[in-house]
Amino acid sequence: PPAGGQQSADLRNLDYAREVLASKVGQSLGPPGGEVRSLVMAPGDESRLYLGTLDGHVYYSVDGAFSWTLSYPDLPPDAVVDNLAVHPESDDTVFAAYYQGNGSGGLLRSDDGAKTWRRLPVPGAPSLRAMSISPSDPDVVYVGGLGGIWRSNDGGASWDRVETLGPNAE
């Protein structure tokens, strides 16, 4: 625990944020940027949240959704951030899967709490619609979308296709 009264202050701030959110039921909350398509909580810190929007924005909050900071993942203008996942052992490691209207998409990774991003080499730049990180082995990441399912055994550095979807699937 933090030294001094920091833990108590953090809990009071979180309680205050919860009270504020509860008082706004039925009202619009959160940052601007379109319809929220993905919202995840960091497993080690319930006050840290990440969200992705219909118009390709990614935001993060470190105070239980009381305030939001816009991240800049350098996505195409028509990208939809439909899936976010936080590494089960590192609240700073976030994956963002997106798709575009033309049927393409991709996957990004941030290792600094959504401040900077890098593209991951999912073969064929697929339109990604689902993502999961193994809780028992966080280096194992699955993504799925139009055209199949891919698996990474090294945190997203390389990928293998594990399933084909659609009318020509074998």
Q: Which pLDDT band, with edges at 50, 70 and 90, does 12 fall under?
A: low
What is the side-by-side strand order in the sheet with 148-152? 128-133, 141-145, 148-152, 160-163
Amino acid identity at 98: Y
Higher pLDDT, 158 or 32: 158
Q: Which of the residue ranges 23-27, 33-37, 80-84 would you say has the lowest mean pLDDT? A: 23-27
Q: What angle do CA 18, 22, 25 make, to 5 degrees?
A: 145
* pLDDT tens track for 37-94: 999 999 999 999 999 999 889 999 999 988 899 999 989 989 999 999 999 999 999 9
3-class DSSP assignment, residue 148: strand
Rg (CA), the chain: 17
Give the predicted TM-score (pTM) of the model: 0.78
Q: Which residues, listed in sequence order, are joined to residue 120 by a DSSP beta bridge?
A: 107
pLDDT of 4 over the 90 cut: no
CA-based end-to-end distance of the chain: 53
- Which three-class secondary structure string do you get for 4-15? CCHHHHHHHHHH
